[in-house]
Amino acid sequence: MNFTKMQGTGNDFIVIEDLEEKYNDLGVLSKKLCDRHYGIGADGILVVRKSTIADIQMIIINADGSYASMCGNGIRCFAKYIFEKKYVLSENIKIETGDGVKLASICVCDGEFKGVTINMGKYNFNPISIPALSSSEIINKKLDTNNKDYYITSLLMGVPHTIVFGKLEDYEVCEGKVIENNSLFPQKTNVNFCEIVDKNRIRVKTWERGAGPTLACGTGSCAAVVAANRLGYTEGKVEVQVPGGILNIEIIKGEVLMEGPAETVFKGQFLTT
What is the Cβ-side half-sphere exposure of residue 162, based on CA atoms within 13 angstroms? 31
Cα 109 off chain centre by: 26
Omega of the bond leading into 131 within 30 degrees of 0 (cis): yes
With residues binned 3-state (H G I as helix, E B as strand, rest as coil), the percentages for the chain, rounded to 5, are: 15, 45, 35
Q: 255-260 and 2-8: which strand pairing?
A: unpaired
> Residue 222, SS3?
helix
| Angstrom distances, CA of residue 197 to CA of 155, 160, 168, 239, 247 | 22, 24, 11, 10, 15
Is 208 annotated in a binding site? The answer is yes
- Report which DSSP code applies to 246: E
Is 72 annotated in a binding site? The answer is yes
How far is residue 143's CA from residue 150's CA, in Å, rounded to a whole number? 5
Q: Name the nearest CA neighbour of 21 among 49, 54, 55.
A: 49
Among 34, 77, 217, 222, the one annotated catalytic? 217
109 is catalytic: no
Is 190 annotated in a binding site? The answer is yes
Among 71, 77, 194, 222, the one annotated catalytic? 71
71 is catalytic: yes
What is the Cβ-side half-sphere exposure of residue 207, based on CA atoms within 13 angstroms? 19
Burial of 144 (0-12, 13-18, 19+ CB in 10 A): exposed
Is 200 annotated in a binding site? The answer is no
Is 73 annotated in a binding site? The answer is yes
* Catalytic annotation, residues: 71, 217
Annotated binding site for substrate: 11, 62, 72-73, 190, 208-209, 218-219
